[in-house]
Amino acid sequence: MIEAQGLRKHFGRTAALDGLDLTVSAGEVHGFLGPNGAGKSTTIRVLLGMLRADAGSTSVLGRDPWRDAVAIHRDVAYVPGDVTLWPNLSGGETIDYLTRLRGGADAALRARLIEDFQLDPRKKGRGYSKGNRQKVALVAAFARPAELYIFDEPTSGLDPVMESVFRAEVERVVADGATVLLSSHILSEVEQLCDRVTIVRAGRAVETGTLDELRHLTRTSFRVATAAGLAEVAALAGVHDAREEAGHLVFDVDGAELETVLAALTRAGVTALTATPPSLEELFLRHYGDRIAVTDEDAA
Amino acid sequence: MLLVLLQQMRRDRIILPIWVLGTAALSAVTVAAAANEFGDATGRAQILAVALATPALLALRGIPNGDELGSAVHFQSFAWLALTLGLMNVFLATRHGRADEEKGRRELVLAAPVSRMTPAVSALLLAVLANLAYAVLAVLGYQAGGLPLEGSVLSAVCLALIGLVFFGVGSLAGELAATTRAASGIGVVVVLVAYAFRAAGDALGTPDVAALTLDPAWPSYLTPIGWGQLALPFTADRWWPVAVLAALAAVLVAVALVVHSRRELGASLLAERSGRPAAPATLRGAFGLAWRLQWPSMLGWTIGSAALGIALGSLVTAVSQLDFSANPSLQAILQSLGRTDQTDVAKALIPALTAMVGSLAAASGVQAVLRAREEEVAGRTEAVLAGAVSRFAWTGAFLGVAVLTVAVVLLASGAAAAAGFAVAGNDDFVWLALGQCLVQAPAALTFVAVAALAVAALPRVSVGIAWGLFGVGVVIGYFGQLMDLPDWLQQASPITQVPELPTDDWLPTFVLAAIVVVAAVLAAAAFRRRDLST
């Protein structure tokens, strides 16, 4: 579906893409994960033929996105990260217009999506909040079936209820055989939806694989008040970086070992427990020794 | 209160001085221009007599009163200055009113220990200061030009008060409408309607040629601009309009403040009109979008150009009925407006006046083409090109709408002028006027195609390039001869290359048409080769 190799793109003297590789196969939901400024949006714009890469090869649906943009776009639905609408077109008009560019909306589907996303289609573009602008673009993307869906940080303005509507739609189109590329800087969002993930940092793909393969990246952080001793917990399989802080034990647990660690804790007795998923920032700090702020400057 | 006012002044430190100084400079320049163009008292009397016989000029300018220099200044500039000050005050009111509420800035200020009325009262103070500054500068300008003191003060005070009346209108519009756009829209329409009523009233008025003055018809009495004019500064020096205007401004501002004191933050008396839930069938493809975005502007340009055509027709008709044997000096003045030494003055005026129509058409087309750049900067081009729309179609759509706009604008003014001549029985001029308008097309389209090329090839500086070239072209085309510019430079402006009908020399026209085609093709090719940039 998508095959990009060694993409390079410079804006002036800054390198936005520095030899990026990305492969998305048919039928999968592919997470494109990285901090802001890592080059995710630039990659997507190259894949859509909005930008021309300085070097590297790209193929989308088996074609060159720069030369054959129109042919490819008939089968691609895209939602940009920062949606701007025409101020004097209503949401409904915008949805119809954008879907017509690809051949026209499925009327029943359009009506159901507007209902599910709780969108008022009569409002003018200038009157929508960020979240509602995003919903207009999402309805336009889902209202006509496509082979490939590209979402650039699609849930950044949505509340949790709408995020779940979005997830349900992604699951629906994938069940129908479509392929999805989903960029995000939120690890948990990608975990919930994606089969495979590519992690991008400073214009380069640093890891790619299935979620299981990347399981070592997704440790859960625990903070527990327990009768068990520090040494006892540190010795359990899958426990890392165990230490004692203000009377609590603090440690990280590999996703695969959660069950055994929890069982051991329960046997010892627990009076308080908080568990937090690792943030992307922690992950990058741990694996690449980066502070995200530094990465931002590199690739901004 | 002081803090709020200082912050409002700081925000306006560039925009407001431009308006105030620009308008004041316009006032001062008019004195010099009137002294220059109208000549001595006899010259003024002759020209004002022509003006009194020409409804189009009365509509465009205003009412004269006597043969003093001040009378010529009042006739030339009062209504235009009122229009400018009206717009300045409407924008000032919405900028510090509805816009702050819509963008959420007002909420931040009111969350501090600041009363709900403070920003509104502070904006009123700002408006008073701005209009007062204009009045002081205008009086100084008039004094420098040698006009009598009482008339100068009266004229400036009337204009400042008209400004405050429209500040009241803008404030009230901000209370009524939900969005800044709608509020400014209402305000601007009120200003334009006030101007139009005055124009109609003056055009239909009863002239008194002996006293060189005019008793306007009833529509002028319905507008603050009309009342202000009736002060007749420099001759009659009536002060009653000052009281009437002050009272009207006070009432409008008071009503706006009372509504403001009762209204919740962000609420509006008029709900925003909701749009259609689905798109009409015509909204499809790149052209459908370009048309949808541009037709309101196109309509505006068309109405403006038709009005210009009517003015052109009635002015030329009036001039063609004059007997120049009595006053050859007037003939010389009118001839200097035309570009050739055509002996038939009326005929000489047609190419000069249709050149203005051509510039208007060029401006409308340039604006339509630059809309494509505006879309790109806003990020909306990306949304369209992510659909099955080619780069070629995108460029073609906006260029196509621009060409259509130019054609409609030229046709509208040509048809309006021709209809005027037909009604006046001036059959010689019917086809000449229409043809002379249409023959502007290649020159106007040259500016359009070059603007399209700039958008495609040099997007970041395209707006500056397009309007810059247009400005330079117009200045060279209109004033090149007056300024004694070298011949090659004069010939470089497309406006200079427009033929005067009837002509046998069509070569320049074909050259311009070829330039248009080449620039358009290059634009389409260049846009296919570049990255989208915001």
Written as six digits, the tokens of A130 are 């960020």
| Most confidently predicted of A127-131, A285-289, B209-213 | A127-131
Tell me: pLDDT of B302 over 90.
yes
- pLDDT (0 to 100) of residue B332: 62
Average pLDDT over residues A11-22: 91
Query: Which SS3 state, helix, strand or coil, does residue B259 take?
Result: helix
Q: What is the pLDDT of residues B173-213, one digit of tens each?
A: 999 988 888 898 889 889 988 988 898 888 888 888 888 88
CB contact at 8 A, B464 and B523 = no
Residues in chain A: 300
Return d(Cα A162, Cα B180) in angstroms, integer. 30
SS (H, E, C) B411-448: HHHHHHHHHHHHHCCCHHHHHHHHHHHHCCHHHHHHHH
Average pLDDT over residues B316-329: 68
- Flag if B380 and A84 touch (Cβ within 8 Å): yes
- pLDDT (0 to 100) of residue B513: 95
A127 contacts on B by Cβ (under 8 Å): 179, 272
Q: Which residues of B328-367 are buried (b: 16+ CB within 10 A; e: fewer)?
A: eebbebbbeebbeeeeebbbbbbbbbbbbbbbbbbbbbbb
Q: φ, ψ for residue B317 (rounded to 5)? A: -60, -45
Assess if CATH 3.20.20.240 describes domain A2-210: no
| B282 in A contact zone (CB under 8 Å) | no
Which residues form the domain of B187? 2-262
Domain shared by B254 and B298, yes or no: no
Domain shared by B240 and B335, yes or no: no
Q: Which of B274, B278, B384 sits opposite A96 (nearest CB)?
A: B278
Domain shared by B258 and B375, yes or no: no
Share of chain B above pLDDT 90, in %: 48
Domain shared by B201 and B305, yes or no: no
| A63 in B contact zone (CB under 8 Å) | no
- pLDDT (0 to 100) of residue B325: 60
Question: Does residue B278 sit within a domain?
Answer: no
Q: Which of B277, B285, B383 sits opposite A92 (nearest CB)?
A: B277
Q: What is the pLDDT of residues A141-166, one digit of tens each?
A: 999 999 999 999 988 888 989 999 99
Tell me: pLDDT of A289 over 70.
no
A48 contacts on B by Cβ (under 8 Å): 382, 385-386
Tell me: pLDDT of B521 over 90.
yes
- Flag if A93 and B276 touch (Cβ within 8 Å): yes
Q: Which of A50, A84, A126 sits opposite B532 (nearest CB)?
A: A50
- Which residues does A109 contact at the CB level (< 8 Å), separation at least 6? A142, A143, A144
Higher pLDDT, B241 or A229: B241
Domain shared by B200 and B343, yes or no: no
Average pLDDT over residues B500-506: 83
Chosen domain end from B230, B262, B294: B262
| Most confidently predicted of B10-19, B29-38, B228-237, B517-526 | B517-526
Strand stretches in A25-130, DSSP E: 29-33, 55-60, 76-79
| Most confidently predicted of A273-277, B57-61, B94-98, B349-353 | B94-98
Question: Does residue B273 sit within a domain?
Answer: no
- pLDDT (0 to 100) of residue A296: 41
Q: Angle B233-B235-B238 (CA atoms, 0-180°, nearest 5)?
A: 55
User: Which of A7, A8, A97 is the mutation pick for testing B, counting most B CBs within 10 A?
Assistant: A97
Higher pLDDT, B51 or A74: A74
Domain shared by B357 and B216, yes or no: no
Higher pLDDT, B289 or B319: B289
CB contact at 8 A, A75 and A146 = yes
Question: Does residue B274 sit within a domain?
Answer: no
Q: What is the pLDDT of residues A215-263, one digit of tens each?
A: 666 778 889 988 888 888 888 888 888 888 888 889 888 877 888 888 8
**In chain A, helix, strand, coil percent, each to 5?**
35, 30, 30
| Most confidently predicted of A58-67, A205-214, B326-335, B423-432 | A58-67
- Which residues does A43 contact at the CB level (< 8 Å), separation at least 6? A4, A7, A17, A20, A22, A32, A200
- Taking the CA of residue A182 and the nearest CA in chain B, the distance in Å comes to 16
Average pLDDT over residues A14-39: 92
Domain shared by B247 and B295, yes or no: no
| Parallel/antiparallel/unpaired status of strands A29-33 and A196-201 | parallel
- Flag if B278 and A78 touch (Cβ within 8 Å): no
pLDDT averaged over chain B? 88
Question: Does residue B275 sit within a domain?
Answer: no
Question: Does residue B276 sit within a domain?
Answer: no
ipTM: 0.80
| B384 in A contact zone (CB under 8 Å) | yes
CB contact at 8 A, B157 and B231 = no
Question: Does residue B513 sit within a domain?
Answer: yes
Domain shared by B258 and B317, yes or no: no
The angle, 0 to 180 degrees and rounded to 10, between the axes of the packed helices B149-176 and B69-95 is 30
Tell me: pLDDT of A275 over 90.
no
- pLDDT (0 to 100) of residue B491: 87
Shortest CA distance to B413 belongs to which of B436, B394, B397, B395? Answer: B436
- Flag if A45 and B383 touch (Cβ within 8 Å): no
Average pLDDT over residues B59-68: 84
Higher pLDDT, A33 or B404: B404
Domain map of chain A by residue range?
2-210, 219-276
Return d(Cα B494, Cα B509) in angstroms, integer. 9
- Taking the CA of residue B289 and the nearest CA in chain A, the distance in Å comes to 8
Domain shared by B357 and B213, yes or no: no
Higher pLDDT, A285 or B213: B213
Share of chain A above pLDDT 70, in %: 91
Domain shared by B129 and B23, yes or no: yes
Question: Does residue B280 sit within a domain?
Answer: no
Tell me: pLDDT of A294 over 80.
no
pLDDT averaged over chain A? 87
CA torsion sign for A228, A234, A237, A241 is positive
| A102 in B contact zone (CB under 8 Å) | yes
- pLDDT (0 to 100) of residue B533: 85
Chosen domain end from B231, B262, B293: B262
- Flag if A122 and B274 touch (Cβ within 8 Å): yes
Q: Which of B278, B380, B387 sits opposite A101 (nearest CB)?
A: B387
Beta bridge partners of A76: A148
- pLDDT (0 to 100) of residue A287: 67
Tell me: pLDDT of B119 over 80.
yes
Model confidence band, residue A292 (pLDDT cutoffs 50, 70, 90): very low
- pLDDT (0 to 100) of residue B327: 59
- As a CATH number, domain A219-276 is 3.30.70
- pLDDT (0 to 100) of residue A286: 67
Domain shared by B24 and B161, yes or no: yes
Q: What is the pLDDT of residues B469-482, one digit of tens each?
A: 998 998 888 877 77
Average pLDDT over residues B362-369: 94
Q: What is the pLDDT of residues B132-145, one digit of tens each?
A: 999 999 999 999 98
Instruction: Give the number of domains in chain B.
Output: 2
- Flag if A102 and B288 touch (Cβ within 8 Å): no
Question: Does residue B277 sit within a domain?
Answer: no
Chosen domain end from B229, B262, B295: B262
Domain shared by B258 and B298, yes or no: no
Tell me: pLDDT of A5 over 90.
yes
Q: φ, ψ for residue B137 (rounded to 5)? A: -65, -40
